Amino acid sequence: MKIVSIKIKNYRVFENIEIKNIPAFCVMIGANGTGKSTLFDIFGFLRDALKNNIRQALQIRGGFNEVVTRGKQNEDIEIELKFRMEILSTERLVTYVLVVGQHRQKPIIKREILRYKRGEYGSPFHFLDFQHGQGYAIKNEEDFKSDEELEREEQQLESADILALKGLGQFQRFKAANAFRSLIENWHVSDFHISDARGSKDALYAEHLSPTGDNMAVVAQYIYQEHPEVFEEILKRMQARVPGVSKVEAKNTEDGRLILKFQDQAFKDPFIDRYVSDGTMKMFAYLILLFDPKPHPLLCVEEPENQLYPSLLQKLAEEFASYAHRGGQVFVSTHSPYFLNAVPLDSIFWLIKDQGITKIQKATDSETLINLVEAGDLPGYLWNQGWFEGVAP
């Protein structure tokens, strides 16, 4: 899957934005409070809404009135995602629309649509369309020839704050809903905490790093056992980046738990994860995440530069980019010119806030930036020198 455009209305600082032609690797820059975290939270919001319901997804963010753009309390929150996705072996340009409003002080889903074109021409067809908990989904999406043969299945959802995607997406017969639901479930919005990654863990099976990183030892062991060549590569990179680190191992403790041990070549006994440095833990976590043999369809990471030595950031940026090229779309926010130096100009988005409302611009909207980079300047230096300030209106 690849998201190609995002439209947002009335979600916190985003009163009305549209980002088009989104590349596989996106890097967001902008002053504090311009909305980088908010943009990633849109993905988290959809995931939470799918897991529970809209009311709960809003509640953990302070409720509808807190989330809706200030001064727009009487309007709806609208999210529209366009993405390329394979449905029954055919790539489709799919649009998902979600309109959330309030009814008698309670948040409800006013409209939810999933649509795509069946052929080159013609207007897109609604394969799922719900209003206030009632609507339909098409159950013979791919085997009909004309619109008359479409089989609609009318449905009433349990309540108007549940996504139809959640209710119907679990059924195989609703192909588009089913495929999109499973994609959202596999989005990874990182909320890594070094402290969670430390300490012994029950050796429960896991193939992917959790958002907080609390299963890092388990995933490291999985990669070591099932993908030894990948683990070897991760180790090689750790050795090159963190002075002294010669080996990392996931070790079973006597009570059947797992712990990470970091060997420093200068000493005989390794250090357990509790006692290695923050940056060592962080770098290992990124390598485990980015060398994942099965990339997430969407990966969001905030300020990966934190705790890391500046000269490591170029390689890290390249690793994020190659993850995106392996098939997982990547969104990163950064405050680091070192990181940005290694990012292609057409991956860079610039957030500007004016009177409490944010606009998003593409670095490649500016001829000046394009020319300067072509002449050999690096994006991070240009950013430091203020060249991004006047990107096209």
Q: Could you say whether residue 306 binds Mg ion (CB under 5 A)?
A: no
Alpha-helical regions (H) of the chain: 36-51, 54-59, 64-67, 164-168, 175-185, 194-197, 216-226, 228-241, 278-290, 313-325, 337-341, 367-374, 379-384
The residues in 338-357 that bind ligand ATP, with binding defined as CB under 6 A, are: 356
Map residues 367-386 to x or -, x wherever contact with ligand ATP holds by CB under 6 A.
--------------------
User: What separation in angstroms does the CA of 196 have from each of 191, 215, 251, 274, 381?
Assistant: 10, 8, 17, 10, 35
Count the site residues for ligand ATP by CB under 6 A.
16
Supply the minimum distance, in Å, between the C-beta of residue 113 and ligand ATP.
25
- Give the pair of three-digit tokens for residue 199: 């300490």
The residues in 20-39 that bind ligand ATP, with binding defined as CB under 6 A, are: 30, 32-38
Across the strands, what pairs with 245? 264
Supply the minimum distance, in Å, between the C-beta of residue 68 and ligand ATP.
6
CA-CA-CA-CA torsion sign (59, 62, 65, 71): negative
Which one, 38 or 361, has the nearer CB to ligand ATP? 38
Count the site residues for Mg ion by CB under 5 A.
2
Q: Please pick, from the candidates 1, 13, 179, 324, the single residue that binds ligand ATP as defined by CB under 6 A.
A: 13
Which one, 63 or 199, has the nearer CB to ligand ATP? 63
For the stretch 28-53, what's the b/e string if a residue is b when 16 or more beta carbons lie within 10 angstroms of its beta carbon? bbbeeebbbebbbbbbbbbbbbbebb
Separation between Cα atoms, residue 93 and residue 176, nearest integer Å:
11
Q: Residue 361 touches which of Mg ion, ligand ATP, none (CB < 5 to 8 A by kind)? A: none
Supply the minimum distance, in Å, between the C-beta of residue 326 and ligand ATP.
27
Map residues 49-88 to x or -, x wherever contact with ligand ATP holds by CB under 6 A.
-----------------xxxxx------------------
Q: Could you say whether residue 37 binds Mg ion (CB under 5 A)?
A: yes
Q: Residue 101 touches which of Mg ion, ligand ATP, none (CB < 5 to 8 A by kind)? A: none
**Residue 214: CB atoms within 10 Å:** 18
Separation between Cα atoms, residue 92 and residue 119, nearest integer Å:
9
**Residue 336: CB atoms within 10 Å:** 19
Which one, 99 or 203, has the nearer CB to ligand ATP? 99
Chain positions contacting ligand ATP, by CB under 6 A:
12-13, 30, 32-38, 66-70, 356
